[in-house]
Amino acid sequence: MTHLSESAVLVLEDGSRHRGRAYGARGTTLGEVVFATGMSGYQETLTDPSYAGQIVLQTAPHIGNTGMNDEDPESRRIWVAGYIVRDPSRVVSNWRANSSLDDTLERDGIVGISGIDTRAITRHIRSAGSMRGGIFSGEAAALDAEEQLRIVQEAPQMAGQNLSADVSVDAATVTPAVGEKIGNLAVLDLGVKQATVDNLAARGFEVHVLPQTATIEEIRAIDPVAVFYSNGPGDPAASDGHVELLRSVLDEKLPFFGICFGNQLLGRALGLGTYKLPFGHRGINQPVRDKTTGRVEITAHNHGFAVDAPIEGVFDSPAGYGRVEVSHVGLNDNVVEGLRALDIPAFSVQYHPEAAAGPHDANYLFDRFADLVRENKDAK
């Protein structure tokens, strides 16, 4: 159990310092400091591979009251580089809990900090942008302030990092289809969440989760009816190999669906650019407009990069894949939140339709994908 009296400090690369209490494991951790706006679902956030390399700040002040359980993890481990909360719960109150949050963080070696003004840090990041940071606790808390800042400033930037190999499975896994089988689905694991696999299997796909090193020959070998690219961490501009693989998929006219990182990689495969957002979208309460229906969805996001494409109208793919349009738009800042190819069977969204945790407004996208695959099979 964490001893709340032990001191810790959060140091940002611009030199700002925030003193608090040690939370979770003791030591030093480095990463990109980002904030997540969900008021619940912290277990799903911690186990989302898209947060690899990031120190996550929860804007909701009270975290940990429902503890941790064995049913809600979204992957095989906690991926956040560090964790920042204001008021950790002193009592676990949920019938499914089998451990506390702080005990789990300590067991898994996740260095955190509590008891600091998370609102002030969030406002700072919103104005200055996401930046590198470090949490120092235990013996590291006593290091000289200049030494702590030097350590933070020598850490790698998120831009330019390819983290897919860190989070992907080493060997293929198969999840059987539920109900009537549509066919085999090749899922490139760039940081996939369990809820995504479950949603795809529930639509009738036999889900083959493949390592991020998979080749087009290995994808062909499972005789897929479609290909799916998952969410994941890192800079899409550093994933040339995955872009080339996707172009091979598109060349074969295999139906494609991508989410989050997969949306950015579809953008790149179509010949579009990507760029780093000032502070990103992270949380389960982000409004998005579906341009096809005009419907506004409340959606779950976790992305620090976005696709650069014209919001209105139809445009030609610079890479020669025909007509393309932006299908979904973020209402907070007009960021591209979805792409649809009009001449090949491919589409993607920047957010998380599996919404674990989060609202279910976008769950229909899995049905849209299943329908697209059935239509493509019928047309052959």
The per-residue pLDDT for range 48-78, each reduced to its tens digit, is 999 999 999 999 999 999 999 998 878 889 9
| Structure letter (DSSP) for residue 129 | -
pLDDT above 50 for 1: no
Over residues 206-222, the pLDDT tens digits come to 999 999 999 999 999 99
Percent of the chain with pLDDT over 70: 98
Angle between helix 194-202 and helix 364-379 axes, rounded to 10 deg: 50
Residues 165-183 pLDDT 10s: 999 999 999 999 999 999 9
308 to 3, 203, 276, 325: CA distances (angstroms): 47, 31, 10, 12
Rounded Cα distance between 66 and 339, Å, is: 37
Are 282 and 266 a contacting pair, CB within 8 Å? no
User: Is 358's pLDDT higher than 80?
Assistant: no
Q: Average the pLDDT over 71-100 and give the result.
A: 92
DSSP state of 111: E
Task: Between 158 and 268, name the one with better pLDDT.
Answer: 268
Written as one string, the DSSP assignment of 40-57 is S-HHHHHT-GGGBTEEEE
- Please say if the pLDDT value at position 2 is more than 70: no
The C-alpha atoms of residue 334 and residue 379 are separated, in whole angstroms, by 36
pLDDT at 357 over 80: no
The pLDDT mean for the chain works out to 94
Query: In the prediction, which pLDDT does 98 show?
Result: 92
When pLDDT is averaged across residues 191-206 and rounded to a whole number, the result is 95
What is the rounded CA–CA span in Å between residue 67 and residue 303?
Answer: 26
DSSP alpha helices (H): ranges in the chain? 42-46, 101-107, 118-128, 145-153, 164-167, 194-202, 216-221, 240-251, 261-269, 364-379
Report residue 5's pLDDT band, with 50, 70 and 90 as the boundaries. low
Q: What confidence score (pLDDT) does residue 87 get?
A: 96
What average pLDDT does the segment 290-307 reach?
94
Residue 3 burial by CB count (10 A; 0-12/13-18/19+): exposed, middle or buried? exposed
Q: What are the catalytic residues?
A: 260, 352, 354
pLDDT of 293 > 80? The answer is yes
| Confidence (pLDDT) at 317 | 98
d(CA 241, CA 175): 26
Q: For residue 36, give the nearest of 366, 373, 276, 284 by alpha carbon.
A: 284
